[in-house]
Amino acid sequence: MSEMPAAARPVRRRAITEETHEGPPRATAYVCEAASCMSAQAHDITLRLGERTARAGLGDVEVKRVGCLGLCAAGPLVEIAETGQLFERVRPDDVEPIVKALKKVKPADTRRSQGPFFEKQVRVATENFGRVDPESLEDYLARGGYEALQRVLSEMTSAEVREEITRSGLRGRGGAGYPTGLKWTTVAKAQGTQKYVICNADEGDPGAFMDRSVLESDPYRILEGMAIAAFAVHATEGYVYCRAEYPLAVARLRTAIRLAQRAGWLGGGIADTSFTFDVQVRLGAGAFVCGEETALIASVEGRRGTPRPRPPYPAVQGLWDCPTLINNVETFASVPAIIRKGPDWYAGIGAGKSRGTKVFALAGRIVNTGLVEVPMGMTLREIIDDIGGGIVDGRPFKAVQTGGPSGGCIPAEHLDTPVTYESLIELGSFMGSGGMIVMDDTSCMVDVAKYFQDFCRDESCGKCVPCRVGTTQMWMLLDKITRGRATLADLAQLERLAGIVQKMSLCGLGQGAPNPIFSTLRYFRDEYLAHVVDKRCPAGVCAIEQPAEVMA
Amino acid sequence: MPIPYQKPPAPSDDKRWKIVETRMRRMGDRPGALIEALHAAQEAFGYLDDSALHFVGDTLGVPHSRVYGVATFYSFFTLKPQGEHTCVVCTGTACYINGAKEILVEFDRKLGVKPKETTADGKVSLLTARCIGACSLAPAVIVDGEAKGKVTANELVAQLEAM
């Protein structure tokens, strides 16, 4: 691919405003062009705003498309960089207020507070969100991009890099929280001349969109993080395994790879050293189980994505039987910042054994749906009430679901729990990749459990019996309960079966599948009993069948 | 002596086969390119028919049984032609609790289609996705490749009926 002449490559440019002004612009309008705002004509807004500012003679104003500004609920969003003024729900035919505000910007202006949604966040993995043009390498470099890789290549040994990551306390952000430094060390010490780095961007949890946002908003960061990891574990080839359902993320990632290759940040002899590393994109094809690392490897190899028993772990025997490092998108996104600002800085954020920050996707019945990054150890209440703005229509909070189909529902009485890997497991839930779905009294918890069971039943790859058969049987029992036809014996059977599936399944999908059932039984048993004994659904969601007339 | 391997000819002179061939060649025509090749074929033709599966399998040296196995394992691949318009309804958790179920019910009631089906006149195909990651716009749908957020069942079906 690299022998194509530079000019022939289809690179999209963002030349929206004519650059007649010398020096830095007086005012800048950031237009959010991540998937969520894009689906509400954000690109038209960028074009229109560029056109209007040019017509108004504002040559010293820059209009720039940026990645996710975070507050997806109020999209499409436009932000004026100098004052921090945020325009919400902008329509392409109504950009005049923004043009007026841009006219008024003075050099002495400082950014005003944007409210708790923004102020309470600590941005590490998402520090460039809403600040850089996702496809512009210059923008990324201007914000300290590739400084970390440069430093790693020129000043550090691979052992020192692994040591820094270990000291930072970074743990896998894909959900299980395996210490990243330890994983890197295992791969580095594994026997083999060829090693691989894989970025797991198969974000399958419904209700989670952190990985998508990172890829859409700051793709170079992933490439830099992967390159640092490759240096630390002596790998030369990398793959990003991304869902095909994220076309914008894939397109931006491919552009970033092309531009990084051209600028010498990928490929042979990076930054005038002997270090060689290249990245390819592999598309998933809609199989949730491919988020499991051995299934993911099978899929990258072009096979059905079915997991295999571990050990051997991929760190020893992974892709094409070579030692392979697999980390999540967010983990790689945290790496450049750790190298740049030092492991002690990173380890200084967080609580207990969970250091640093975590990105969460807030969704469901919450006012400020969107993407937030908070320090570990922040309480659920702060995340949901202060940052999330509480429940839609002022309805009562019922539960927050974390961890996707392997996670659980946390009720109101535990809202003051600090969020760490350990505390969530204690509550019967799971960190997962970071989806947080808030539910109010319009959700029936039995129905929610059934929904997740339906998901697992459908996504089970069918390789091992406990998962293939167990998830279907559990779904049937839940279906029976929601139709008001179950007995207490059915409920006992459900609990017994859930325990079996949890202990006997081969991979995380089956082992985690009973979690939604366990957690809803633990906190909302009364709802189950209402369905089973009183034959009614307290939330009015389930269609309870009226019992047939008893024959005399 | 191994028999020199010959790549199979494209099933027809349709130019779209070139795209599929190129994608496979770039990955060295190795069995590992199977999923990428199926993606390329589905992007070009809209679905995977027998000739596509055979062609990809023969080029990459993958048995037909395995090609079929992969094509049916992944829910993104479809072996049936799609309608003129496609509507993907997101059934992720956020969309589910915000009314995706009602949208599917409305489709069934008004157009008589369930997920993975196409209307009798071949106009609209209804698909579901596990999560399209547009959770803040719940319930979200993708109509002909364009994402739409905060849709209501009535409006969406009426809009598709008018198409």
How high is the pLDDT of residue B82?
Answer: 84
Tell me the residues of chain B between 52 and 81 that have a Cβ less than 8 Å away from chain A.
Answer: 60, 62, 66, 69-70, 73-77
Nearest C-alpha in B relative to A206? B92
Q: Which residues are within 8 A (CB) of A119 and not within 5 positions of it... i.e. 6 or more apart?
A: A113
Q: What is the pLDDT along chain A (552 residues), one digit of tens a residue?
A: 333 333 333 344 444 444 555 677 888 999 999 888 888 888 899 999 988 988 888 888 889 999 999 888 887 899 998 888 999 999 988 899 999 999 888 888 888 878 888 989 999 999 999 999 999 999 999 999 999 999 999 999 999 999 999 999 999 998 788 999 999 999 999 999 999 999 999 988 888 889 999 999 999 999 999 999 999 999 999 999 999 888 889 999 999 999 999 999 999 999 999 999 999 999 999 899 999 999 999 999 999 999 999 899 999 999 999 999 999 999 999 999 999 999 999 999 999 999 999 999 998 899 998 899 999 999 999 999 999 999 999 899 999 999 989 899 999 999 999 999 999 999 999 888 888 999 999 999 999 999 999 999 999 999 999 999 999 999 999 999 999 999 999 999 999 999 999 999 999 999 999 999 999 999 999 999 999 999 999 999 898 887 665 554
List chain A domain ranges.
14-114, 137-347, 352-440, 451-532
Please calculate the CA angle A367-A427-A467 and round it to the nearest 5 degrees.
100
How high is the pLDDT of residue A172?
Answer: 93
What is residue A439's three-state secondary structure? strand
Burial of A463 (0-12, 13-18, 19+ CB in 10 A): middle
Q: Which of A36, A204, A401 sits opposite B134 (nearest CB)?
A: A36
Q: Which of A363, A439, A443 sits opposite B135 (nearest CB)?
A: A363
Beta strand segments in A148-269, E: 196-201, 237-242
* Paired residues of B147 in beta bridges: B142
- Which positions in chain A touch B149 (Cβ < 8 Å)? 36, 39-40
Query: What confidence tens digit (pLDDT) does each residue in B125-150 have?
Result: 888 888 887 777 778 888 887 788 88
State both tokens at A72: 């997806």
How high is the pLDDT of residue A48?
Answer: 92
How high is the pLDDT of residue A3?
Answer: 38
* Contacts of A293-301 spanning 24+ positions with Cβ under 8 A: A293/A200, A293/A318, A293/A326, A294/A507, A295/A461, A295/A507, A296/A198, A296/A200, A296/A202, A296/A241, A296/A326, A297/A198, A297/A324, A297/A326, A299/A241, A299/B35, A300/A198, A300/A239, A300/A241, A300/B32, A301/B31, A301/B32
How high is the pLDDT of residue A5?
Answer: 36
CATH T-level fold of A14-114: Glutaredoxin (3.40.30)
d(CA A224, CA B113): 46
Number of residue pairs across A and B with CB atoms under 8 Å? Answer: 140
Closest CA to B57 of B38, B85, B78, B80: B38
Q: Which amino acid is at A319?
A: L
How high is the pLDDT of residue A20?
Answer: 53
Tell me the shortest Cα–Cα distance from B135 to chain A, in angstroms. 6
* More confident of the two residues B12 and A490: A490
CATH T-level fold of B85-162: Glutaredoxin (3.40.30)
Task: With cut-offs at 50, 70 and 90, classify the pLDDT of residue B161.
Answer: confident
- CB contact under 8 Å between A206 and B96, yes or no, is yes
CATH code for the structural domain at A451-532 = 1.20.1440.230
Interface residue of A77, A209, A509, A542 to substitute, partner B, most B CBs within 10 Å? A209
- CB contact under 8 Å between A1 and B133, yes or no, is no
Closest CA to A240 of A209, A194, A201, A294: A201
User: What backbone torsions phi and psi does residue B128 show, to the nearest 5 degrees?
Assistant: -125, 155
Tell me the residues of chain A between 315 and 374 that have a Cβ less than 8 Å away from chain B.
Answer: 361-365, 369-370
Q: CA torsion, points A299, A303, A305, A308, in degrees to nearest 10?
A: -100
A137-347: CATH class: alpha beta
- CB contact under 8 Å between B75 and A246, yes or no, is no
Judge whether residue B51 has pLDDT over 50.
yes
How high is the pLDDT of residue A547?
Answer: 66
How high is the pLDDT of residue B151?
Answer: 87
- CB contact under 8 Å between B97 and A284, yes or no, is no
Q: Which residue has the tokens 């104003």?
A: A61
d(CA A158, CA A231): 6
Tell me the shortest Cα–Cα distance from B82 to chain A, in angstroms. 17
* pTM of the predicted model as reported, rounded to 2 decimal places: 0.91
* Paired residues of A361 in beta bridges: A371, A435
Q: Which of A39, A247, A286 sits opposite B134 (nearest CB)?
A: A39
Between the CA of residue A221 and those of A98, A144, A229, A296, B68, what are the distances in Å?
A: 30, 10, 12, 22, 37
What's the complex ipTM?
0.87
- Which positions in chain B touch A244 (Cβ < 8 Å)? 39, 76
List chain B domain ranges.
16-73, 85-162
* Paired residues of A71 in beta bridges: none
CATH ID of A352-440, from 3.40.640.10, 2.60.40.10, 3.30.750.24, 3.10.20.600: 3.10.20.600
- CB contact under 8 Å between B33 and A302, yes or no, is yes
How high is the pLDDT of residue A397?
Answer: 95
